Protein backbone atom coordinates (compact mmCIF):
# COMPACT_ATOMS: atom_id res chain seq x y z
CA UNK A 1 0.00 0.00 0.00
CA UNK A 2 1.30 3.46 -0.94
CA UNK A 3 0.40 6.48 1.22
CA UNK A 4 1.08 9.98 -0.13
CA UNK A 5 1.41 12.79 2.43
CA UNK A 6 0.64 15.84 0.32
CA UNK A 7 -0.20 19.51 0.44
CA UNK A 8 0.89 21.99 -2.23
CA UNK A 9 1.33 24.61 0.50
CA UNK A 10 4.62 24.63 2.39
CA UNK A 11 4.90 24.87 6.16
CA UNK A 12 2.13 22.41 7.04
CA UNK A 13 4.46 19.85 8.62
CA UNK A 14 4.40 17.21 5.88
CA UNK A 15 7.86 15.89 6.71
CA UNK A 16 7.19 15.81 10.44
CA UNK A 17 3.95 13.91 9.94
CA UNK A 18 5.55 11.58 7.39
CA UNK A 19 8.39 10.61 9.73
CA UNK A 20 6.11 10.07 12.74
CA UNK A 21 3.58 8.13 10.67
CA UNK A 22 6.19 5.89 9.04
CA UNK A 23 7.81 5.10 12.39
CA UNK A 24 4.42 4.60 14.02
CA UNK A 25 3.40 2.05 11.40
CA UNK A 26 6.39 -0.11 12.33
CA UNK A 27 5.08 -0.26 15.91
CA UNK A 28 1.92 -1.83 14.48
CA UNK A 29 3.97 -4.56 12.80
CA UNK A 30 4.20 -3.07 9.30
CA UNK A 31 7.50 -3.15 7.41
CA UNK A 32 7.61 0.39 6.11
CA UNK A 33 9.48 2.47 3.52
CA UNK A 34 9.64 6.25 3.79
CA UNK A 35 10.26 7.86 0.39
CA UNK A 36 11.28 11.49 0.00
CA UNK A 37 9.56 13.56 -2.67
CA UNK A 38 12.01 16.44 -2.20
CA UNK A 39 15.80 16.48 -2.54
CA UNK A 40 16.09 18.33 0.78
CA UNK A 41 15.20 15.00 2.43
CA UNK A 42 13.82 16.80 5.49
CA UNK A 43 12.14 13.73 6.93
CA UNK A 44 15.50 11.93 7.01
CA UNK A 45 17.08 14.82 8.92
CA UNK A 46 14.14 14.78 11.35
CA UNK A 47 14.98 11.13 12.01
CA UNK A 48 18.58 11.92 12.86
CA UNK A 49 20.43 11.12 9.63
CA UNK A 50 21.66 12.91 6.54
CA UNK A 51 21.86 11.94 2.89
CA UNK A 52 25.52 12.06 1.86
CA UNK A 53 25.50 9.72 -1.14
CA UNK A 54 24.66 10.65 -4.72
CA UNK A 55 22.43 7.63 -5.25
CA UNK A 56 18.78 8.15 -4.43
CA UNK A 57 15.34 7.40 -5.83
CA UNK A 58 16.25 8.50 -9.34
CA UNK A 59 19.23 6.12 -9.40
CA UNK A 60 17.10 3.35 -7.89
CA UNK A 61 14.52 3.88 -10.64
CA UNK A 62 17.13 3.85 -13.41
CA UNK A 63 19.28 0.93 -12.30
CA UNK A 64 17.30 -1.00 -9.70
CA UNK A 65 20.20 -1.08 -7.23
CA UNK A 66 19.37 -0.94 -3.54
CA UNK A 67 19.94 2.54 -2.10
CA UNK A 68 17.78 2.44 1.02
CA UNK A 69 18.98 3.75 4.37
CA UNK A 70 17.99 1.75 7.45
CA UNK A 71 16.82 4.29 10.03
CA UNK A 72 14.80 2.23 12.50
CA UNK A 73 13.76 -1.38 12.93
CA UNK A 74 11.49 -2.25 9.98
CA UNK A 75 11.85 1.29 8.59
CA UNK A 76 13.91 2.10 5.48
CA UNK A 77 14.40 5.50 3.89
CA UNK A 78 14.60 6.18 0.16
CA UNK A 79 16.20 9.61 -0.35
CA UNK A 80 15.85 11.81 -3.41
CA UNK A 81 19.09 13.08 -4.92
CA UNK A 82 17.56 15.60 -7.33
CA UNK A 83 14.21 17.26 -7.98
CA UNK A 84 14.94 17.01 -11.71
CA UNK A 85 13.17 13.88 -12.91
CA UNK A 86 12.18 14.14 -16.56
CA UNK A 87 9.26 12.58 -18.36
CA UNK A 88 11.66 10.07 -19.92
CA UNK A 89 12.01 8.37 -16.54
CA UNK A 90 8.29 8.26 -15.86
CA UNK A 91 7.80 4.54 -16.58
CA UNK A 92 10.89 3.56 -14.59
CA UNK A 93 9.81 5.61 -11.58
CA UNK A 94 6.36 4.00 -11.69
CA UNK A 95 8.00 0.55 -11.79
CA UNK A 96 10.21 1.55 -8.85
CA UNK A 97 7.12 2.39 -6.80
CA UNK A 98 5.51 -0.89 -7.85
CA UNK A 99 8.61 -2.72 -6.63
CA UNK A 100 8.54 -0.90 -3.28
CA UNK A 101 4.84 -1.67 -2.94
CA UNK A 102 5.66 -5.38 -3.26
CA UNK A 103 8.68 -5.34 -0.94
CA UNK A 104 7.10 -3.37 1.92
CA UNK A 105 3.79 -3.57 3.73
CA UNK A 106 3.35 0.20 3.51
CA UNK A 107 5.19 2.92 1.56
CA UNK A 108 4.88 6.48 2.89
CA UNK A 109 5.77 9.24 0.41
CA UNK A 110 6.77 12.56 1.96
CA UNK A 111 5.44 14.91 -0.72
CA UNK A 112 7.08 18.08 -1.97
CA UNK A 113 5.20 21.42 -1.84
CA UNK A 114 4.69 21.35 -5.60
CA UNK A 115 2.11 20.08 -8.02
CA UNK A 116 4.09 20.51 -11.23
CA UNK A 117 7.19 18.35 -10.79
CA UNK A 118 7.17 14.91 -12.37
CA UNK A 119 7.65 12.97 -9.14
CA UNK A 120 4.64 14.67 -7.51
CA UNK A 121 2.49 13.74 -10.50
CA UNK A 122 3.68 10.13 -10.43
CA UNK A 123 3.17 9.80 -6.66
CA UNK A 124 -0.38 11.14 -6.99
CA UNK A 125 -1.03 8.57 -9.70
CA UNK A 126 0.38 5.46 -8.03
CA UNK A 127 -0.73 6.13 -4.45
CA UNK A 128 -3.59 4.24 -2.88
CA UNK A 129 -4.36 6.90 -0.26
CA UNK A 130 -3.59 10.59 0.17
CA UNK A 131 -3.18 12.20 3.58
CA UNK A 132 -3.39 16.00 3.70
CA UNK A 133 -1.72 17.87 6.58
CA UNK A 134 -3.08 21.38 7.10
CA UNK A 135 -2.57 24.35 9.33
CA UNK A 136 -5.83 25.79 10.54
CA UNK A 137 -5.73 29.04 8.60
CA UNK A 138 -7.52 30.47 5.60
CA UNK A 139 -4.63 29.76 3.24
CA UNK A 140 -4.70 26.05 4.01
CA UNK A 141 -8.45 25.87 3.39
CA UNK A 142 -7.89 27.36 -0.05
CA UNK A 143 -4.98 24.97 -0.62
CA UNK A 144 -7.25 21.99 0.07
CA UNK A 145 -9.73 23.21 -2.52
CA UNK A 146 -6.93 23.78 -5.06
CA UNK A 147 -5.50 20.36 -4.31
CA UNK A 148 -8.65 18.83 -5.73
CA UNK A 149 -7.47 20.09 -9.11
CA UNK A 150 -4.24 18.04 -9.00
CA UNK A 151 -5.10 14.81 -7.18
CA UNK A 152 -7.91 12.28 -7.29
CA UNK A 153 -10.10 13.41 -4.40
CA UNK A 154 -11.43 9.86 -4.11
CA UNK A 155 -7.97 8.83 -2.89
CA UNK A 156 -7.97 11.30 0.01
CA UNK A 157 -8.47 9.22 3.16
CA UNK A 158 -7.86 11.81 5.86
CA UNK A 159 -7.01 15.41 6.61
CA UNK A 160 -4.72 16.10 9.56
CA UNK A 161 -4.78 19.54 11.22
CA UNK A 162 -1.24 20.19 12.41
CA UNK A 163 0.73 22.74 14.47
CA UNK A 164 -2.40 23.57 16.48
CA UNK A 165 -2.03 26.40 19.01
CA UNK A 166 -5.57 26.29 20.37
CA UNK A 167 -6.73 29.75 19.30
CA UNK A 168 -10.39 30.58 18.73
CA UNK A 169 -9.73 31.25 15.04
CA UNK A 170 -8.16 27.81 14.64
CA UNK A 171 -11.07 26.17 16.44
CA UNK A 172 -13.56 27.96 14.18
CA UNK A 173 -11.65 26.83 11.08
CA UNK A 174 -11.55 23.26 12.41
CA UNK A 175 -15.34 23.34 12.83
CA UNK A 176 -15.69 24.68 9.28
CA UNK A 177 -13.52 21.85 7.96
CA UNK A 178 -15.57 19.35 9.92
CA UNK A 179 -18.70 20.59 8.17
CA UNK A 180 -16.92 20.69 4.79
CA UNK A 181 -15.96 16.99 4.99
CA UNK A 182 -19.09 15.81 6.80
CA UNK A 183 -20.77 14.52 3.64
CA UNK A 184 -17.60 12.95 2.20
CA UNK A 185 -15.54 9.84 2.88
CA UNK A 186 -12.65 11.99 4.11
CA UNK A 187 -11.80 11.56 7.80
CA UNK A 188 -10.83 14.70 9.72
CA UNK A 189 -8.55 13.76 12.63
CA UNK A 190 -8.15 15.62 15.87
CA UNK A 191 -5.59 18.40 15.65
CA UNK A 192 -1.93 17.74 16.43
CA UNK A 193 -0.76 20.34 18.91
CA UNK A 194 2.36 22.43 18.34
CA UNK A 195 4.52 21.77 21.41
CA UNK A 196 8.02 22.64 22.55
CA UNK A 197 8.61 18.98 23.40
CA UNK A 198 7.87 17.88 19.84
CA UNK A 199 10.19 20.61 18.58
CA UNK A 200 12.99 19.29 20.79
CA UNK A 201 12.45 15.79 19.41
CA UNK A 202 12.81 17.16 15.88
CA UNK A 203 16.07 18.89 16.79
CA UNK A 204 17.37 15.64 18.29
CA UNK A 205 16.46 13.65 15.17
CA UNK A 206 13.80 11.62 16.92
CA UNK A 207 10.17 10.78 16.25
CA UNK A 208 7.51 10.69 18.94
CA UNK A 209 7.88 6.90 18.88
CA UNK A 210 11.47 7.22 20.09
CA UNK A 211 10.10 8.73 23.31
CA UNK A 212 8.19 7.20 26.19
CA UNK A 213 7.30 10.57 27.65
CA UNK A 214 3.68 11.21 28.59
CA UNK A 215 4.05 14.44 26.64
CA UNK A 216 3.75 12.43 23.41
CA UNK A 217 0.51 10.66 24.34
CA UNK A 218 -1.88 13.19 22.77
CA UNK A 219 0.04 13.20 19.49
CA UNK A 220 0.29 9.41 19.47
CA UNK A 221 -3.50 9.24 19.88
CA UNK A 222 -3.92 11.29 16.69
CA UNK A 223 -1.47 9.07 14.82
CA UNK A 224 -3.46 6.07 16.03
CA UNK A 225 -6.47 7.69 14.34
CA UNK A 226 -4.50 8.13 11.11
CA UNK A 227 -3.20 4.56 11.17
CA UNK A 228 -6.67 3.17 11.84
CA UNK A 229 -7.94 5.05 8.78
CA UNK A 230 -5.07 3.74 6.65
CA UNK A 231 -5.62 0.15 7.69
CA UNK A 232 -9.42 0.13 7.39
CA UNK A 233 -10.00 2.61 4.55
CA UNK A 234 -11.59 1.27 1.37
Asked whether residue 45 carries a pLDDT value surpassing 90, the answer given is: yes
Q: What is the pLDDT of residue 115?
A: 66
- Work out the average pLDDT over 209-228: 97
- Work out the average pLDDT over 215-222: 96
Q: What is the pLDDT of residue 11?
A: 77
Percent of the chain with pLDDT over 70: 97
- Work out the average pLDDT over 193-207: 94
**By the 8 A CB rule, do 200 and 211 touch?**
no
Segment 48-57, tens digit of pLDDT: 999 988 899 9
The architecture of the domain spanning 2-232 is 3-Layer(aba) Sandwich (3.40)
Segment 103-158, tens digit of pLDDT: 999 999 999 877 678 899 999 999 999 999 999 987 777 777 777 676 788 899 99
pTM score = 0.94
Asked whether residue 180 carries a pLDDT value surpassing 90, the answer given is: no
Q: What share of the chain is helix, strand, coil (3-state, %, to 5)?
A: 45, 15, 40
**CA atoms of 172 and 167, how far apart (whole Å):** 9
Segment 77-97, tens digit of pLDDT: 999 999 888 888 999 999 999
Helices 168-181 and 138-147: angle between axes, nearest 10 degrees: 20
- The residue ranges of every structural domain in the chain are 2-232
The residue length of the chain stands at 234
Amino acid sequence: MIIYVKNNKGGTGKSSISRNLAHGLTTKGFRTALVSGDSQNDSLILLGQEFTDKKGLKYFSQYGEDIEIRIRKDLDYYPLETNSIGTGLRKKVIKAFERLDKEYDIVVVDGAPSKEDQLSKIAAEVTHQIIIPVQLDGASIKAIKRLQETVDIEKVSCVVPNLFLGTKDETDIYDALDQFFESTNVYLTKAIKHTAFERRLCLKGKSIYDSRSKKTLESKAVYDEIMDVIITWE
